[in-house]
Chains A and B, each alone.
Chain A
């Protein structure tokens, strides 16, 4: 069915290589038609949700099939890559999207948000992400990024009755556009310096022409880093994050914090490793500082938060910092650590936000950590799952978060960035100061009243999301072997396959 190798310079070859994306795009167009006719009742909305889930699952299946027996590229990878990294990241985005859709169903019903297009937007954003992780050309990556961003701008403001959602959407849109401009400018400068936007060719050009000290290229890389810095919410480009995460509907926040961030990281790593590897002296130094500042600021500010949603928002900044450590190491091990961590991070973040969506009311902006008091005695399973998420976010042994953090630490230590490793460890200690109070509130404080948590109930798909993510986090914490093998395997494939011979 799938040819063993495809010629990516031909349209037919490209079509084969992009089959998962093409399928999902077709499905989205179909869904749009459905939505045009069926958008009046909650029943219609549920139908769209089910169809979206079906589309996502089929796409995930396609991605897995491609991953297992994927075609090889004949010659140069034009426009899209055909490597394990692409399919691994695509799988992560799809899992994130599936979880987000599943969490949304109960939430949208409860908050009386009747916009079936919501699910279409999530699917559109997912297509964008898949191009970000799989693009072999700066232009394709940029297009993917825009597709994702525009969809997510709308998602952030989907609750039209909420002032905060409107504020979040506008803020996100303005700053996001700003970041895109930086990114585009960076791409333009890199094109100016190397004469190409193809990642592999950029690599070849830099090595062949000897552009390592070229000012235009360095400025281009700096612009690129700033643009991605905005997207992954690295300090000091994080100012939009808390307000946007806070104002957006909780499932969207989960989607933004997990999948959107993961996509930005996937694109960043692909560009850095595949195209800009010869310039690693420039970007490792910059990322080193970015990672250190992001970890420290994210965790320190999170410590001061009383409201759960804002605390999770700041903690996600801290986690961006951890992932940046993996990127900054600039090694295969770092890429592998990133792949593993991004998967784990998606699971635990979506899980934590799902619990928040279940436990909170009215947009959850005002849900305090103290509002979880006594959840352990009233809703033991929910509290247990939340404990797993918190411990995993903290990086505690026995959970996947620990293996992930251990992996990132090994990458840092192996790259002899011991100081960065120590900053990471210090930041983790700080993070205990805000993850533990959640556990403490649930188990060690009495419920506020007799009726507290009486209507806190995970119904339907959310229950599955919470259960499955918690179980997977425990499983990957004790038996991470298969995932580790995958991560290591796919990270190696990311290295440019071309051998550059420079004749002097």
Chain B
């Protein structure tokens, strides 16, 4: 068997086995086993980067096993130029998440690390599922570990945050379940073949035209809550703030991407006529732009650093939505790039927020000040990561936002102009936070003996910074791998005469 034939199965199965090993092992070695397992998982997934054929938009590494054939349910998996990055982002983030929890999690370590591993399988499953039933199962199953991570190891208001997170997601996804079933029956009745296979439903989606609006609405709600789009975002600040550091990192880095991934993979390709109906389009774009500005403005007034980062996520994800709905090659590529960036930069910011909290036991920006003198390495890292989140040229943040803005300007000039101010706001809130945290005067005597980054913390942050610079300076390998898929999406909706000439991004 070649690598491509077993890799996706293994990627899903391995974390589950590892979770079992963690549970059966002793409390003391739980984190070591988890770290080893997530590292192996990452190493297993790395060859995907080279094995992936960037020349085609078709699904690759496909595997199909019968699961419940009576209902036309196949356990079929595969990845294309969109999910490739989500898979790698997940496997890349998980070892860091384990390392980031190393000292922070002191109670019930076995359960904690086992849940992280189960969560890994859940998230990867969402990104590689090519059967809507399988997709739905993973989409829901991953709720439970996250619910426990927030509810058991979270902050003071963890119970409220956990149940809010659960209920919000659950509301959206159950309506999506009805929509999936409706598609299954309508398509099945028309074609005579009852199947949940993504390809089958996509090819025959024309037969559900009559209900397309409602079906799109159900998918839209599920994904918009997850993204989260304004006004469905209210679960996010609570969940982010109360979750333990690794939980926030995973939430921001990967879980939110499930929403935008859902749009790219399901909602938009299934129902392009509804999604790009002028009214719907206008509503989505307006909501996306509101999200960009609103998230940035609220972030600007947050005294709590973690909350600030949480609101900045709403702003960043607004760019992704704008990029998808602008539907040009650049804007869609930009949207995917932002999805990756946001996972890296915001993940890193959450790690840093956690490290600051572990040192000072507060997240109030005002409680710090001038610590750059005491902890230069931490301050430098925080600066680089903040600049990448702002979108400074030379960092990954710039590539994504630039592509989205360039790609969207032709379609929605005004929305793009307004959205662009979001970048300015981003500079405003992050630089203000930076100033409050690490510059100013060192006027709090208790911070004078603060520890600088330990080797373990550096091990978490250095890979993230490496990615920030790599994507910022040489994004071509990324863009090349997503181009075929992005182009296929655009062409499927706009027709093959879509402008294929594209700006070659060259950044010094």
Is there a chain B Cβ closer than 8 Å to A358's Cβ? no
Candidates A377, A396, A409, A480; contact of B144 at CB < 8 Å: A396
Is there a chain B Cβ closer than 8 Å to A398's Cβ? yes
A433–B166 alpha-carbon span in the complex (Å): 10
A488 to B70, Cβ gap below 8 A?
A: yes
> With contacts A397-B140, A440-B159, A440-B163 known, is A425 near B185, CB below 8 A?
no
> With contacts A397-B140, A413-B178, A422-B178 known, is A444 near B158, CB below 8 A?
yes
B182 to A444, Cβ gap below 8 A?
A: no
> With contacts A397-B137, A429-B167 known, is A443 near B151, CB below 8 A?
yes
B181 to A432, Cβ gap below 8 A?
A: no
Which listed segment binds A: B38-46, B168-176, B314-322, B347-355? Answer: B168-176
A397 to B136, Cβ gap below 8 A?
A: yes
Main secondary structure of the interface of A (DSSP, over half): helix
A480–B133 alpha-carbon span in the complex (Å): 14
A444–B163 alpha-carbon span in the complex (Å): 11
**Interface set, chain B 125-172, CB cutoff 8 A to A:** 136-137, 140-141, 144, 147-148, 151-152, 158-159, 162-163, 166-167, 170-171
B159 to A444, Cβ gap below 8 A?
A: yes
B392 → chain A, closest Cβ, in Å?
41
Candidates B71, B174, B181; contact of A428 at CB < 8 Å: B174
A433–B164 alpha-carbon span in the complex (Å): 10
A residues within 8 A CB of B137? 397-398, 402
B119 → chain A, closest Cβ, in Å?
14
A438 → chain B, closest Cβ, in Å?
12
Candidates B71, B136, B166; contact of A484 at CB < 8 Å: B71
A414–B136 alpha-carbon span in the complex (Å): 19
Is there a chain B Cβ closer than 8 Å to A74's Cβ? no
B140 to A410, Cβ gap below 8 A?
A: no
A402–B152 alpha-carbon span in the complex (Å): 25
Candidates B158, B162, B177; contact of A409 at CB < 8 Å: B177
Interface string of A410-445 (1 = CB under 8 A from B): 100110001001100100110011001100100111
A308 → chain B, closest Cβ, in Å?
18
Report the nearest B residue to A415, measured CB to CB: B185
A484 to B68, Cβ gap below 8 A?
A: yes
A433 to B175, Cβ gap below 8 A?
A: no
A50–B69 alpha-carbon span in the complex (Å): 41
A413 to B181, Cβ gap below 8 A?
A: yes
> With contacts A409-B177, A414-B185 known, is A485 near B171, CB below 8 A?
no
A409 to B178, Cβ gap below 8 A?
A: yes
B182 to A418, Cβ gap below 8 A?
A: yes
> With contacts A396-B140, A440-B159 known, is A421 near B68, CB below 8 A?
no
B170 to A429, Cβ gap below 8 A?
A: yes
B residues within 8 A CB of A396? 140-141, 144
A195–B210 alpha-carbon span in the complex (Å): 47
A418–B136 alpha-carbon span in the complex (Å): 19
B182 to A485, Cβ gap below 8 A?
A: no
B170 to A432, Cβ gap below 8 A?
A: yes
Interface string of B172-198 (1 = CB under 8 A from A): 001101100110110000000000000
A481–B73 alpha-carbon span in the complex (Å): 11
A410–B194 alpha-carbon span in the complex (Å): 12
A429 to B171, Cβ gap below 8 A?
A: yes
A residues within 8 A CB of B68? 480-481, 484
Candidates B70, B141, B158, B175; contact of A398 at CB < 8 Å: B141
> With contacts A397-B141, A398-B137 known, is A429 near B152, CB below 8 A?
no
Is there a chain B Cβ closer than 8 Å to A391's Cβ? yes
A396–B139 alpha-carbon span in the complex (Å): 11
> With contacts A409-B181, A413-B181 known, is A425 near B152, CB below 8 A?
no
B residues within 8 A CB of A402? 137, 140
Q: Number of contact residues on B: which range applies?
A: 20 to 34
A76 → chain B, closest Cβ, in Å?
32
> With contacts A440-B151, A444-B151 known, is A481 near B70, CB below 8 A?
yes
A425–B221 alpha-carbon span in the complex (Å): 14
B17 → chain A, closest Cβ, in Å?
15
B residues within 8 A CB of A445? 159
**Interface set, chain A 461-488, CB cutoff 8 A to B:** 480-481, 484-485, 488
B299 → chain A, closest Cβ, in Å?
29
A residues within 8 A CB of B166? 432, 436
A437–B182 alpha-carbon span in the complex (Å): 31
A477 → chain B, closest Cβ, in Å?
9
B141 → chain A, closest Cβ, in Å?
5
A418 to B71, Cβ gap below 8 A?
A: no
Interface string of A384-398 (1 = CB under 8 A from B): 000000010000111
Please count how many residues in chain A sit with their CB below 8 Å of the partner chain's CB atoms: 30
A432–B167 alpha-carbon span in the complex (Å): 7
A421 to B181, Cβ gap below 8 A?
A: yes
A residues within 8 A CB of B159? 440, 444-445
A414–B182 alpha-carbon span in the complex (Å): 8
Report the nearest B residue to A380, measured CB to CB: B111
A244–B175 alpha-carbon span in the complex (Å): 35
A495 → chain B, closest Cβ, in Å?
19
A406–B185 alpha-carbon span in the complex (Å): 13
Candidates B148, B167, B178, B181; contact of A443 at CB < 8 Å: B148
Interface string of B34-72 (1 = CB under 8 A from A): 000000000000000000000000000000000011110
B residues within 8 A CB of A428? 174
A residues within 8 A CB of B182? 413, 418
A485–B70 alpha-carbon span in the complex (Å): 8
B163 to A429, Cβ gap below 8 A?
A: no
A443–B150 alpha-carbon span in the complex (Å): 11
A484–B68 alpha-carbon span in the complex (Å): 9
Report the nearest A residue to B163, measured CB to CB: A436
Report the nearest B residue to A445, measured CB to CB: B159
**Interface set, chain A 358-411, CB cutoff 8 A to B:** 377, 391, 396-398, 402, 406, 409-410
B178 to A421, Cβ gap below 8 A?
A: yes
**Interface set, chain A 443-461, CB cutoff 8 A to B:** 443-445
B162 → chain A, closest Cβ, in Å?
7
Interface string of A227-244 (1 = CB under 8 A from B): 000000000000000000
- Determine which residue in B136, B163, B184 has the highest number of CB atoms from chain A within 10 A of its CB, and name it: B163
A residues within 8 A CB of B162? 440, 444
> With contacts A444-B151, A484-B70, A485-B70 known, is A391 near B181, CB below 8 A?
no
B residues within 8 A CB of A421? 178, 181
B residues within 8 A CB of A485? 70
A residues within 8 A CB of B140? 396-397, 402
B159 → chain A, closest Cβ, in Å?
6
A410 to B178, Cβ gap below 8 A?
A: no
B249 → chain A, closest Cβ, in Å?
21
A384 → chain B, closest Cβ, in Å?
11
Interface string of B92-111 (1 = CB under 8 A from A): 00000000000000001000
B residues within 8 A CB of A440? 151, 159, 162-163
A484–B71 alpha-carbon span in the complex (Å): 9
Candidates B69, B70, B177; contact of A425 at CB < 8 Å: B177
Report the nearest B residue to A443, measured CB to CB: B152
Report the nearest A residue to B134, measured CB to CB: A397
B residues within 8 A CB of A425? 174-175, 177-178
A485–B68 alpha-carbon span in the complex (Å): 10
B183 → chain A, closest Cβ, in Å?
10
B174 → chain A, closest Cβ, in Å?
4
> With contacts A397-B136, A413-B185, A432-B167 known, is A422 near B152, CB below 8 A?
no
A490–B144 alpha-carbon span in the complex (Å): 35
What are 12 contact pairs spanning A and B, CB under 8 A? A396-B141, A410-B184, A413-B181, A413-B184, A421-B178, A425-B174, A425-B178, A436-B163, A436-B166, A436-B167, A443-B152, A444-B151
The 4 closest A-B pairs by CB, nearest first: A397-B137, A444-B151, A425-B174, A397-B140
Taking A402-B140, A418-B178, A481-B69 as known contacts, 17 extra A-B pairs with beta carbons closer than 8 A to each other, sorted by chain A number, are A396-B140, A397-B140, A398-B137, A406-B177, A409-B181, A413-B182, A421-B181, A422-B178, A425-B175, A436-B163, A440-B151, A440-B159, A440-B162, A444-B159, A481-B68, A484-B68, A484-B71
